[in-house]
Structure 1
């Protein structure tokens, strides 16, 4: 029996490096071994400083025991600080997930056995790189001591953990100076949801997230509208709030995308499609939804509601019929329904005009943190220093501290210094200030930023970007190549990768979209555009000579895909093809609308597409 290990009530800490395989592939064996050695030295030093005893080490994972819960949690915090503050070389930064549980494991010759060990391991595996997760037992023992040090605890809800019976409450210490915003724990889902996984880190907005979350949980509040100008970060804020509320709604939290819905009557149809609720014969869609949801404790997240404001009446009827249903909306204007509240999103925090505070203070402002985070996506070694901090703050102030505008500007750090970026940006925005007089100042700024970003593209990138706006709801690289490459000169994958680095395209690899491989089918990356950007790109496309040809090629691609899928619906690959067409519903819809509006092709073209889709629509109850 190992007598060096603490006995009785023990706090167990397990750690694991996030993405270790990708890190090995990126650094090579020697580089990875060096980074792993630094990681081990940093963690072992903090374990020793907090009375930790190393139980086991396997590869990139530690198993450590502490005599008290406070020792264990303080050690984990110290480890995360050491990792965050270490001057890692480019591409070598290591992020570690950590989990702690307090129990009474049995000592053996090799270490510990017992359910406490399994619980600590599963809690650790539920975390994300840079995150510390605590069991309820550990959290209760350290709450008061941590609060005295300014460390609060965030309740992440009740979760089922692999191979463990029952449910387990998981909490996260929120430590000043360390990242606090992470996706939901990677547990076995206890609450159904379809929330998208962001591809970039959520930065700042802690007070606003808490305020909207509390508003959503207030008795009598049924609907909350988060309002603000385009590019203000409404979508990311509401998604973050919805993620934190997963455990509060037993029947699920569901995202209803409205970016491509322009007819207010289609909003309830979009809700029904998302929830897979079919319209009952002889009933309206609202009535069918009311029947299906009348006893459900559910949250609906709806984005871009400003273009379908008149649908607020249908939402009001739905809320009246479903007393446990709540709705979180992002829009440029508030919804007027009973039980609704508005939360106006403020600008990101930025130092006041005039003399800047000390550098370490400037680096704590939300807008600066966002700029740094996004700039490092473009250039991993980027740093804000005393020599460039004034230019960075001036850039952010020049774009009104709008998150989307900050992201577009920061993406240019790949090829520009902050000084050069500021000069280029200032010249362009000065030239563009004569826009439409009915636009608000924030809207002027964002539109001008998009135009500036567009002007900096090379001809091939401009051509591809505006042509990809023909798609609605995204597309695969193969689809973009087939539709956009009119003259056989475009290299979609190469130029699309460049557009992603410039924050003008989004890319998904989440297993529900493009990165899915079923029955040998691999669609690769799926590209999309934020709606604000797509509006601008579409304007450029419609002003070009390519628009008619692109509309025709997009329709041909839709018909070809539907016809390709049709023979497989009843076979072994039926599920794959149903899911495949599901992802392209918005492309099919917009293609049919364009057909009807086109006097040359008209209804016949729309009917041809409908004929290929009839079985899919039948299966989906559309």
Structure 2
């Protein structure tokens, strides 16, 4: 038997968060929403050189030869969902996972550990969230297209994988980006350090609080057996008046400082 070829590709997975609950609450209306969701995904795949490989229920698996096109497609999809009145009215949210890696090209599709990794990344995402791996960012290059940006979320254990995966959230400009920790396990106890509030009339003193928090993050990062939430993630809550317990939940942190 001849050896099957390998290709380096970008794998895209998506599905609807809480689809079972939506079916239960919407009944026959869900069929129309599912069809509109599929139309938006397929339109973006066709426009940005994505190849649909498999569809099961509300899940999509597609591949891209060009990683930047995959990022553009994800941005356009999330923007499209955010502007649909029907999506807002029923709390409709799509989660996505994108990963770049090697896979065997077989007559039946694409085979390999990296395909499974991409699928697990999608499963870890929250509704409305697009998760990326470092290989996506390396392949896409900087700056990201469509004015998109990323936030580093930390290292997480994906189901079936022994080593933690570094995950980034794609920030889509112009829409509400839910900032939630991935739905998976962290390999180590986790602490998040929030920026300190300096009670002073001088706005320049705010830098003092940031500097103190950054020094603590650096110091804690050197402690064995402890996972520290990235500065970009914890500082995103600077202007939000949330209960620390809620922030800890969103960051999947065991301790908030």
Q: TM-score range by the shorter chain?
A: 0.7 to 0.9
Cα RMSD of the aligned pairs, angstroms, is 3.0
Write out the 4+ residue segments of structure 1 that deviate beyond 6 Å after TM superposition. Answer: 211-214
* Cα separation, 2, equivalents of 1:85 and 1:49: 19
Which of 153, 157, 161 is matched with 1:160 structurally? 157
Q: Does 1:94 align with 2:102?
A: no
Deviations 1:299-324 (A, max 9, x none): xx3xxxxxxxxxxxxxxxxxxxxxxx
Which residues in structure 2 correspond to 1:106-185 (within 5 Å)? 106-146=104-144, 149-185=146-182
Go from structure 1 to structure 2 and tell me whether the alpha carbon gap of 1:137 and 1:243 turns closer, same or farther (over 3 Å shift). same
* Cα separation, 2, equivalents of 1:40 and 1:14: 13
Shift of 1:242: 8.1
* Cα separation, 1, equivalents of 2:176 and 2:134: 21
Query: Counterpart of 1:166 in 2: which secondary structure?
Result: coil
Mark the structure with the bigger radius of gyration. Answer: 1
Deviations 1:416-451 (A, max 9, x none): xxxxxxxxxxxxxxxxxxxxxxxxxxxxxxxxxxxx
Deviations 1:66-125 (A, max 9, x none): 011111111111111111111217743421100011011111222111001111001111
Which residues in structure 2 correspond to 1:150-549 (within 5 Å)? 150-192=147-189, 215-219=212-216, 234-236=241-243, 239-240=246-247, 243-244=250-251, 246=253, 253-254=254-255, 301=256, 328=257
Shift of 1:127: 0.3
Shift of 1:24: 0.1
Contact 1:213 1:241 in 2 (8 A): no
* Cα separation, 2, equivalents of 1:213 and 1:162: 35
Q: Taking structure 2 as the reference length, what is the TM-score of the superposition? A: 0.75
* Cα separation, 2, equivalents of 1:191 and 1:60: 33
The higher relative CO (CA closer than 8 Å, separation ≥ 6) is in 2
Go from structure 1 to structure 2 and tell me whether the alpha carbon gap of 1:145 and 1:243 turns closer, same or farther (over 3 Å shift). same
Deviations 1:339-362 (A, max 9, x none): xxxxxxxxxxxxxxxxxxxxxxxx
Contact 2:82 2:88 in 1 (8 A): no
Query: Counterpart of 1:33 in 2: which secondary structure?
Result: helix
**Residue number in structure 2 paired with 1:266:** none
**Residue number in structure 2 paired with 1:84:** 82
* Cα separation, 2, equivalents of 1:239 and 1:213: 21
* Cα separation, 1, equivalents of 2:11 and 2:38: 18
Go from structure 1 to structure 2 and tell me whether the alpha carbon gap of 1:158 and 1:48 turns closer, same or farther (over 3 Å shift). same
**Residue number in structure 2 paired with 1:16:** 15
* Cα separation, 1, equivalents of 2:43 and 2:209: 40
Structure 2 residue runs without a partner (length 5+): 193-207, 220-238
Query: Counterpart of 1:101 in 2: which secondary structure?
Result: strand
Shift of 1:179: 2.4
**Residue number in structure 1 paired with 2:70:** 72
* Cα separation, 2, equivalents of 1:130 and 1:139: 20
Shift of 1:217: 2.5
* Cα separation, 1, equivalents of 2:19 and 2:77: 18
Go from structure 1 to structure 2 and tell me whether the alpha carbon gap of 1:233 and 1:154 turns closer, same or farther (over 3 Å shift). closer
Go from structure 1 to structure 2 and tell me whether the alpha carbon gap of 1:163 and 1:221 turns closer, same or farther (over 3 Å shift). closer
Q: Taking structure 1 as the reference length, what is the TM-score of the superposition? A: 0.33
Shift of 1:153: 1.3
Higher strand share: 2
Alignment coverage as a number of residue pairs: 219
Higher helix share: 1
Query: Counterpart of 2:187 in 1: which secondary structure?
Result: coil
Contact 2:10 2:65 in 1 (8 A): yes
* Cα separation, 2, equivalents of 1:177 and 1:131: 14
